[in-house]
Amino acid sequence: MTGVEHAGDQFIAGQWVGSTSPDRLPVTNPSTGALIDAVCKGSAEDADAAVAAARAALAEWSGFPVLERIEVLRRTATILEEKVEDLASRITDEVGTPLSLSRDVQVRRPIQVLRALCDAGIRMSWTEQLGNTLVAHEPLGVVVAITPWNFPLHQTLAKVGAALVAGCTVVLKPSEVAPFSSYALADALVEAGLPAGAFNVVTGTGQIVGEQLVTHPGVDGITFTGSTAVGRHIAAAAAGTIKRVALELGGKGPSVVLPGADVAAAAKATAARCFTNSGQVCAALSRLIVPRAELAEAEQALQEFVAAQTVGDPRDPGTTMGPLVSSAHKDLVLSYLEQGVAEGARAVAGDPYRVDDGNFVAPVVFSDVTPEMTIAQEEIFGPVLSVLAYDDVDEAVEIANNSQYGLVGAVWGPDDDGAAEIANRLRVGMVGINGGRINVDAPFGGYRQSGVGREFGTFGIMEFLETKSLNFSGSEAIRRPAGLP
């Protein structure tokens, strides 16, 4: 699956080829610091070749009837399913996710997302008749997908699956930190019968390969997941050629506990959603907003939750939290802990002064956090939970919405209807009501600086479609393009 097993490690026009650049990028295991392998530090020429291959394959792949495209992707899901153990193990080595969690969230979940996209492709309306007009959806064209490291296969399949169902061809630039599952995906797509050139992988840095792809005149659309800073840059760079851009960016998820809710249960469930993957989750719930009268009960529950965590070797079955992805990222998270203390927050669980060896950071919960503090505003992307107290529900909503982000939120209340009323007032793209989980058929994405566009299901596929009105001279549209479900 790594470059060692292929003739080269750029996948272009259905072939594993070398880069035009001799440079390599090391990929290291964040748990041990050991070198796993190295991948091509791709060149602008590699990116150009991949775009040309995707452009050349567009007529063939978009000409496949939708049902046949979906069949290829269903076979891909089956092939990937046979590799759960291998993929989970490799992603644990790259990212540090505890192995048992990797099997579920790093591998099985993305396969579920891919299958849901296949079902959505069958369910959705590819045409609509409006009087004398047939409204038809057509593939957007050549799509560039740029992904981060924290859930490498998940982010890739959410984008690539949707674009391929839509009939687009794809150039993927995976994160240089966690590139190997994209090789397995390329192999699976080939085995499943995807035509050469419909999917291409170019490894390398954002500065060289990414930049070339997002400014390339032969690219019709970009789908990006990553930091808000890079997303902002990509949107601006893509504006030069007016490409469609979908962005899945950062978050600072609020979790609002309403009076009368089971505060201990809500606090523990929020902490679980904050510390998963050591907090390196865009959809983490990293701000717990509780009634002031129930602050002590929430703190006690969080102390119990933190005490039950085991930070360490992600291959040890007893480990609940692995390392952070790199020493640079660890330093950043530690700097937020320092800042939390300096700005007057009170550590109520975990030790903000503790420095472990390697890339490990144990979870910390700060209470007495106020909305203007850095730890209440910035995405830390580490195991740090901020607890904010409120006096009335309007203030809770105001605190929750006091953010540049708007990806995900949660509301906990004595009944679903009351909680849903508050959920409707949150400026976020997804809200869990009394523990409701993210659904692979429903739109995934954020408001405000958490992004533009949606992934998953029919909404995810629509990101990669153009819309055409065929206006017939008669009073009614009567034709339907062939091959639609």
Binding stretches for ligand NAD (CB under 6 A)? 146-150, 173, 175-176, 205-207, 210-211, 214, 225-227, 230, 233-234, 248-251, 282, 379, 381, 407, 451
Longest dimension (CA), the chain: 75
Question: Closest separation between CB of residue 352 and ligand NAD, Å?
Answer: 22
Give me the residue label for tokens 């530090």.
41
Report CA dihedral (164, 168, 174, 179) to the nearest 10 degrees: 40
CB-based contacts of 159, cutoff 8 Å, min separation 6? 143, 145, 147, 170, 172, 223, 225, 455
| Helix, strand, or coil (residue 127) | strand
**Catalytic, out of 274, 282, 294, 463:** 282
Q: CA–CA distance from 317 to each of 75, 369, 409 (Å)?
A: 31, 34, 30
- CA atoms in the 13 A half-sphere facing the CB of 207: 1
Between 126 and 336, CB nearer to ligand NAD:
336
d(CA 198, CA 61): 7
Between 73 and 284, CB nearer to ligand NAD:
284
- CA atoms in the 13 A half-sphere facing the CB of 12: 21
Between 201 and 290, CB nearer to ligand NAD:
201
Question: Closest separation between CB of residue 102 and ligand NAD, Å?
Answer: 16
Give me the residue label for tokens 């129930």.
294
379 is catalytic: no
248 is catalytic: yes
Angle between helices 152-166 and 109-123 (to 10 degrees): 20
Question: Closest separation between CB of residue 22 and ligand NAD, Å?
Answer: 20
- CA atoms in the 13 A half-sphere facing the CB of 243: 28
Question: Closest separation between CB of residue 284 and ligand NAD, Å?
Answer: 8
**Catalytic, out of 94, 248, 299, 455:** 248
Between 132 and 401, CB nearer to ligand NAD:
401
Between 150 and 309, CB nearer to ligand NAD:
150
| Terminal alpha carbon distance of the chain | 35
Q: Report which DSSP code applies to 198.
A: S
Question: Closest separation between CB of residue 247 and ligand NAD, Å?
Answer: 8
Question: Closest separation between CB of residue 300 and ligand NAD, Å?
Answer: 30
Q: Where are any strands of DSSP class E within 227-349?
A: 244-248, 253-257, 285-291, 346-349
Between 47 and 111, CB nearer to ligand NAD:
47
Between 146 and 165, CB nearer to ligand NAD:
146
CA 364 to chain centre: 24
d(CA 198, CA 130): 33
Q: CA–CA distance from 175 to each of 125, 172, 333, 464, 472 (Å)?
A: 34, 10, 20, 21, 47
d(CA 169, CA 147): 16
Between 79 and 219, CB nearer to ligand NAD:
219
Question: Closest separation between CB of residue 363 and ligand NAD, Å?
Answer: 18
Q: Are 387 and 290 in contact (CB under 8 A)?
A: yes
Q: Are 288 and 257 in contact (CB under 8 A)?
A: yes
Catalytic amino acids?
Answer: 248, 282
